[in-house]
């Protein structure tokens, strides 16, 4: 099976280019296995990967035009030749390895932890099953970056727009019954950029390997913001 | 309001104006298809009615607001150089206000005739 893989060495190349590799596939082969096979053929090839089970979120790449985790993408489901590029819109460090600093900076910007104003209790802070259920579909995010790097709004303004990943996280803490910083969180999202660059393009929903829905989360934030404004 | 342009207010206004624009456009379409307003005299009389006149002025206002927010969003997305962005925003702003005044003038003349 033919693979066209994006190669870029900042020390010798002016621009990224595609290199063709012929890989012998086997039953149940995942794209990550194919990339490892390519690395066996050419050990100068660089890509990130770790757990191999779709949990760590390291091996997000752009496959035939859409962002996916290589480790849970079956080669058999892909159309040959398989074109593998780095996540779009991010500075390329080398081959498929991109610089995700801005993505993590946006994540940090939404205060991704519980904020309590009351004194911390001796025991755990209790939640009803219904309150806990509100976090389903939000807490599962693994920060692979598939969604934010598929978002045109994030491509244009990665320094100012939080992007779908960070906004999903923002809603995850706004929706949490134990969090006590709702007003501060909403204030931090006001303005034309941080939240409102989202134009519900929904690329994020389409690519999320965990099946999460950042667009819906963003809608919930807007509703909550409206409720607190009038 | 913070020092930055508004986010929530623009977003809500865009949606509210969209509802009014949709409903009024539908109403106008029905009027046109129903017939009876197919010459200038009839149109003038229609838009000279006080209620219709005010509803149309509101429509123009909603249209301008809606267009302003939409164009502003596009410029914020794609035009990064500050001087160019401000120039374009100013140009669009003046253009939209001119359209609004022109429409208001037409409605006023329809009532005066």
Question: What is the set of domains in chain A, with CATH numbers?
Answer: 2-98 (3.10.20.30), 101-229 (1.10.1060.10)
CA distance B100 to chain A (A): 25
> Per residue of chain A (230 residues), what is the pLDDT tens digit?
999 999 999 999 999 999 999 999 999 999 999 999 999 999 999 999 999 999 999 999 999 999 999 999 999 999 999 999 999 999 999 999 999 999 999 999 999 999 999 998 899 999 999 999 999 999 999 999 999 999 999 999 999 999 999 999 999 999 999 999 999 999 999 888 999 999 999 999 999 999 999 999 999 999 999 999 88
B6 to chain A: closest CA residue: A191
Enter the DSSP assignment of A96: T
B49 touches chain A (CB under 8 A): no
A153 touches chain B (CB under 8 A): yes
> From 1.10.569.10, 3.40.50.300, 1.10.10.10, 1.20.1300.10, which CATH number describes the B8-112 domain?
1.20.1300.10
B7: which chain A residues are within 8 Å (Cβ-Cβ)? 189-196
A193 touches chain B (CB under 8 A): yes
Binary contact (B76, A192; C-beta < 8 A): yes
Mutate to test the interface with A, among B7, B13, B74 (most CBs of A within 10 A): B7
Candidate from A156, A197, A226 with C-beta closest to B8 = A226
Give helix then strand counts, H and E, for chain B: 4, 0
Distance CA A167, CA A221 (A): 8
Residues whose CB falls within 8 Å of the CB of residue A195, separated by 6 or more in sequence, listed in order: A162, A167, A170, A189, A218, A221, A222, A225, B7
Residues whose CB falls within 8 Å of the CB of residue A87, separated by 6 or more in sequence, listed in order: A60, A61, A62, A67, A98, A145, A146, A149
A154 to chain B: closest CA residue: B77
């Amino acid at each position: 099976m033919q693979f066209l893989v994006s190669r870029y060495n900042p020390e010798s190349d002016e621009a990224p280019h595609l290199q063709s590799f012929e890989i012998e596939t086997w039953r149940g082969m995942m794209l990550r296995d194919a990339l490892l096979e390519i690395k066996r053929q050419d050990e100068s090839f660089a890509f990130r990967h770790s757990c191999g089970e779709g949990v760590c979120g390291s091996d997000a790449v752009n496959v035939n035009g859409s962002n996916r985790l290589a480790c849970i993408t079956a080669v058999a489901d892909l159309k040959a030749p398989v074109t593998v590029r780095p996540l779009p819109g991010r500075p390329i460090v080398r081959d498929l390895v991109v610089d995700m600093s801005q993505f993590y900076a946006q994540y940090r910007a939404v205060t991704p932890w519980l904020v309590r104003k009351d004194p911390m209790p001796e025991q755990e802070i209790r939640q009803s099953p219904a309150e806990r259920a509100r976090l389903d579909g939000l807490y599962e995010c693994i920060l692979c970056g598939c969604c934010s790097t598929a978002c045109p709004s994030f491509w244009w303004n990665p320094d100012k727009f939080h992007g779908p990943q960070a906004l999903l996280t923002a809603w995850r803490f706004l929706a949490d019954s134990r969090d006590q910083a709702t007003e501060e969180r909403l204030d931090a999202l006001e303005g034309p950029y941080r939240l409102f660059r989202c134009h519900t393009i929904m690329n994020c929903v389409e690519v999320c390997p965990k099946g999460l829905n950042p667009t819906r989360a963003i809608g919930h934030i807007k509703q909550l913001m409206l409720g607190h404004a009038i | 309001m913070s020092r930055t342009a508004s986010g929530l207010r623009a977003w809500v206004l865009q949606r509210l104006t969209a509802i009014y624009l949709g409903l009024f456009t539908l109403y106008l379409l029905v009027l046109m298809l129903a017939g009876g307003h197919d010459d200038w005299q009839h149109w003038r009389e229609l838009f000279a009615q006080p209620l219709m006149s005010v509803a149309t002025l509101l429509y123009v206002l909603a249209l301008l607001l809606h267009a302003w927010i939409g164009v502003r969003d596009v410029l914020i997305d794609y035009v990064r150089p500050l001087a160019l962005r401000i120039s374009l925003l100013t140009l669009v702003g003046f253009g939209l206000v001119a359209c609004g005044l022109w429409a208001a003038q037409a409605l006023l003349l329809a009532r005066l005739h």
